[in-house]
Amino acid sequence: SFSVVVVFIVLTHTLAQVEGQCILSPELCSMDDDDFDVIFDTCKEFSQGNAIPTPDDLCCQQLNSLSGDCLCKGFQVHLSILPPDYNLTAPLQLPRNCGFPLDPPGCSCGSYTFPS
């Protein structure tokens, strides 16, 4: 049932953190996919190209308002629509460059890992 799945996800997430790993679970985020548009539009200019520009305060405020699981869900939603040859270095650096509190650092989100 649904409640068993949710409990399993929460336990898996908790155990991964206890073992020193950080595995984010987008399933635990209740935000709709469309809710991320404003946040990622605000940060778009800081997540393109090969250079890694310093994000502005508005971008960081928007990003830091998310939980880790919602950050993961938002990245999965937006990164899934990018072309396969898109350089993901800049977008994956955004949380670190904004001081997002990933604990422990180097959290994985599906096939992506946010750098420490």
Domain boundaries, the chain: 2-100
CA gap 34, 19 in Å, rounded: 33
Q: 47-68: per-residue pLDDT in tens?
A: 877 777 789 999 999 999 999 9
Task: Tell me 69's DSSP state.
Answer: H
Residues in the chain: 116
Q: Which amino acid is at 34?
A: D
Q: 86-113: per-residue pLDDT in tens?
A: 888 888 888 989 998 887 778 898 888 8
Q: How confident is the model at residue 20 (pLDDT cuts 50, 70, 90)?
A: low
Q: 64-87: per-residue pLDDT in tens?
A: 999 999 999 998 888 888 887 888
